[in-house]
């Protein structure tokens, strides 16, 4: 699935926070979605891009795609799964 085909239901920007708050904000945003909806997360490289996708998978959600932006930030697309 290419990024152009992914239409998120919600978007959040967590580039202004550090771990572990990055995952906390992502989890809160996912909690507000219905099963099957998609969350787009704008986040930094380093710890956030290493930890947030792993933590999301550990929670049972599906990482659809991760793309790197020209400025070194990333877009993470998560499909909410049953918890």
Q: Which residues participate in catalysis according to the annotation?
A: 19
Please give the structure tokens belonging to residue 60. 């049972």
Alpha-carbon dihedral sign for residues 42, 62, 55, 47: negative
Cα distance between residue 59 and residue 53, in whole Å: 10
Listed residue (51, 58, 49, 60) closest to 83, CA to CA: 60
């Amino acid at each position: 699935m290419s990024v152009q085909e992914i239409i998120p239901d919600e978007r959040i920007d967590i580039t202004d926070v550090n771990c572990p708050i990055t995952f906390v904000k992502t989890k809160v945003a996912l909690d507000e979605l219905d099963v099957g909806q998609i969350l787009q997360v704008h986040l930094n490289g380093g710890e956030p891009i290493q930890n947030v996708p792993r933590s999301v998978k550990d929670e049972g959600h599906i990482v659809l795609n991760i793309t790197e932006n020209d400025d070194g930030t990333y877009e993470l697309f998560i499909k909410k799964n049953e918890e």
